[in-house]
Amino acid sequence: MSASQRSAGKDRRSLLIAAAAGALATGVLVLLLAPPLLLTHRDDLPGERSYAAAMVGLVSRLQAGGATNPLANDPRAIAVGRNAYTGQCSLCHGPSGDGRGGFGALTYPDAADLTAPKTVSKTDAQLFWITKNGLGFTAMPAFDGVFKDEQIWALVSYIRALQRGKAEPLPVPVPAERHLAQADPFGDSIARGAAVYFAQGCHRCHGPEADGPGQLAIRGRIGMGVVRTGDPAGMPQFGVERISAAELADLEAFLLRFAQDERAPVGRNLD
C-alpha cells in the first residue's frame, strides 16, 4: 500500500470518527432538550392529533382483543356506570360526556369528547381497556385498582347510553364556600375529615353534606368499610395509599355529623 493510500485511509477514519462524535453529541443534545419541549408544549404539531388518535386506536385494539361487554344495554349496569362516571369521570369529560368538564379543557391534550365519532367508533373492549389502563402522556388515569372489572364494563355501558342520548346526568349539589371552609388538614378531626372528603372528590357523588341524589345520599347509613372495598353500585375503592387509616378515622368523624340515626352501623375496621 502506497503512502498516499495510507494517508487517504487515515483521512477516512478521521472523518468517520468525527462524524460519529458529531452524531453522538447531537443525540445527547436532543435527549437533553427534546423532553422538556415535548412535556411543556401546548400547541399541536402538524398531524400530531391525528397520529395520536391513530396510535391510541391501534394500541387499544391490539391490547383489548375481541371481548364483548357482558353488561351491554343492562339498565341496572347503566345506573351503576352513571354513579361511577359522576364521581370519577365527569370532572374532565363533563356530565354529558362532551369533554367540557371543569378540568377537561385545561389538560393537554384536552379531555376526549366521548360522544365524538372517533370515540363512538371504538369497540366496547377498547373503551374498557383504555378506562382500565389509562393512556400515557395524557391526563387519562388508569382505573385498575379503583373499579372492579364489572364496574368498568358498567361505565362502558353508561358511555354508550350517553352517546345515544339515552342517559341523564345526576344533579349532584355543588359545594358552597361555607362547605369548603370546613376543611382544614391541620384542624380537629372533623375539619381534617372534611379536607379528606373534598380532596378525594367524595362530594362529586355524595354531595357537600352527604346529600347526593337517590342512593348516593349517605346520611344515616354510614359504614366506613365500603371505602376500602368499594361497592358494586359504583363506589370506587380507596386503598391505604389513597386514604390512610388516620384519614379514614377523620373522614368518619366528619360524616357522622350528617348521620340522622345515631344507631346507624359504623364500620370499626378502618385499616
- Report pLDDT for 253: 94
Among 163, 190, 207, where does a domain finish?
163
Encode burial over 53-89: b for 16+ CB neighbours within 10 A, e otherwise.
eeebeebbeeebeeeebebeeeeebbbbbbbbbbbbb
Within a domain: 249: yes
- Closest-CA residue to 118 (of 42, 56, 63, 75): 56
Could you say which residues of the chain have pLDDT below 70? 1-11, 29-35, 37-39, 260-271
184 and 85 in a single domain? The answer is: no
CA 230 to mean position of chain CA atoms: 17
pLDDT digits (tens, 9 = 90+) for 8-46: 566 677 777 877 777 777 777 656 666 676 667 777 778
- Report pLDDT for 39: 67
183 and 131 in a single domain? The answer is: no
- Report pLDDT for 263: 45
Among 133, 163, 193, where does a domain finish?
163
Within a domain: 7: no
134 and 159 in a single domain? The answer is: yes
Number of domain units in the chain:
2
Segments forming the whole domain that contains residue 249: 177-258
Among 140, 163, 186, where does a domain finish?
163
- Residue 120's CATH number: 1.10.760.10
- Report pLDDT for 94: 94
Within a domain: 6: no
pTM of the model: 0.80
pLDDT digits (tens, 9 = 90+) for 49-68: 888 888 888 899 889 888 99
126 and 186 in a single domain? The answer is: no
- Closest-CA residue to 73 (of 174, 195, 179, 157): 157
